[in-house]
Structure 1
Amino acid sequence: METRWVGPDGLEITVAAHGHGQVLRLRRHGEHVADCSSVDELRRFVDLADLCEVITVPFGERAPRRRQEALS
């Protein structure tokens, strides 16, 4: 599951592979702005308090429910 944060004015931050590590990829309205190697570097571009984490809920993958049958 992909980790993603969104913010005002079309901001989107995702984790991306870059070289031998990971970066925080910043996009605005789908256009690449920067790849940041740390949260401190990301702070230069965006106020972190404005970000909201997007949580994807996997629909259709419910745990099987045990059916209780009436005993006669």
Structure 2
Amino acid sequence: MAAWHGPDGILVEVITLNQRQRIKVSQYVNGRRYLLGYYGSIGAIVRHVDLADLVEVYDFPA
């Protein structure tokens, strides 16, 4: 699964929802995670974060 971090605690993840790929956008505020929405295209998330500010997150094996 791919994930990207953005400024102000924004987290963008590619997930499978109802057998379709969706982009989940959430935000961490004061230690809590708030769902901002599920989107079907990259262009729809620009209301929350500038795409140039996203940094990809890699999971390294232990």
* TM band (smaller chain): 0.7 to 0.9
1:43 is displaced (CA, Å) by 1.7
Q: Which has the higher relative contact order, 1 or 2, with Cα contacts under 8 A spaced 6 or more apart?
A: 2
Q: When the two structures are aligned, how many residues end up with a matched partner?
A: 58
Structure ranking higher in strand proportion: 2
Alignment RMSD: 1.1
Report deviation, 1:39: 0.5
Secondary structure of the 1:43 match is: helix
Does residue 40 (structure 1) correspond to residue 43 (structure 2)? The answer is: yes
Q: How high is the TM-score relative to the length of structure 2?
A: 0.83
Question: TM-score normalised to the size of structure 1?
Answer: 0.73
After TM superposition, the runs of 4+ consecutive aligned structure 1 residues lying more than 3 A away are none
Structure 2: 5+ residue stretches without partners: none
Distance 1:26 1:37 in 2: 11
Unaligned runs of 5+ in 1: 60-72
Residues 1-72 of structure 1: pairs in structure 2 closer than 5 A: 2-29=1-28, 30-59=33-62
* 3-state DSSP of counterpart to 1:42: helix
Following superposition, the deviation at residue 51 of structure 1 comes to 0.4
Provide the identity percentage: 31
What's the offset of the Cα at 1:55? Answer: 0.7
